[in-house]
Amino acid sequence: MSALAHRRFLKMHGAGNAILVLDLRGTGHRVAAGEARAIAGDPHSRFDQLMVVHDPASPGTDAFLRIYNTDGSESGACGNGTRCVAYAMLDDPAMARPAESGRLTLETRAGLVEVKRVADRSFTVDMGQPRLAWDEIPLRDPFPDTRRIELQIGPIDDPILHSPAAVSMGNPHAIFFVDRDPDGFDLARIGPMLENHPIFPERANISVAQVTGREAIKLRVWERGAGLTLACGTAACATVVAASRLRMIGRAATVSLPGGDLAIEWRADDHVLMTGPVFLEGEGTLAPELFEPAPR
């Protein structure tokens, strides 16, 4: 029987997006891509991101996180999911460990992430420093200036979207700034084409953003490996960085996504802070039949 059979999970969301938190500390089991896809395919455990909590890998950290998209691929960062994990590790009766300070240091493939509680169900996540060089994002072509890169979709003389900013927040992002409501773009159709464009060797999260004020942005996101999402914390961070580099805003903004608002600040020390809520929807257990081989 799979080590995941009957494992308890929490169903949460950070700003509308579906987050599943799975605690595998003490087991040594690592979720395979096929197992992640099976979990995502069950209506009872459907997720946008699966946050798997493992025993710490480095001294001084509280846990190691592995983050899975619905297609079984791994992501280096998920800000909304990280807030949910912090809540679970501090408050959930089965997951909590003593932590009087309300602070956690979590490790991901993208590096260390500091999280602190700022209210009962609100957390600030230090998402680290953005990566702005073309080979760090990464991009296929050596663009000297990633504030605008050469990419468009639609007719050459009348493109639907063009000249996105490129930023990595532990995962690659392309942000198209537009002067009208992002809801007017068919991101469900455009997103998959751009996500898998050859210019992005590791695929990319695709965002359409409208700056609506000096400290306000409206954002819609097609998430790499997951599709249309109600919220994406790393996309919100990448968008504020990109807009600031283009001098559309200062270094902080409220980013409004379909699932809610996130407060983003790109500090002078180059770290990006994201503050937002967490919501607990319930809990469940993984059905054993999800992991049984398909009959021939």
Q: What is the set of active-site residues?
A: 78, 232
Helix, strand, coil percentages (3-state) for the chain, rounded to 5, are 15, 35, 45
Cα distance between residue 253 and residue 267, in whole Å: 12
Distance CA 107, CA 62 (A): 8
d(CA 60, CA 50) in angstroms, rounded, equals: 24
Tokens 């999402």: give the residue.
229
Which one, of 255, 100, 285, 262, lies nearest residue 182 by Cα? Answer: 255
Closest by Cα among 165, 226, 213 to 17: 226
Residue 73 vs residues 33, 112, 115, 152, 197: alpha-carbon distances, Å: 6, 20, 24, 26, 17
Six-digit token string for 82 = 């990280």
CA angle 220, 203, 145 (to 5 degrees): 80
Q: Are strands 205-213 and 172-177 parallel, antiparallel or unpaired?
A: parallel
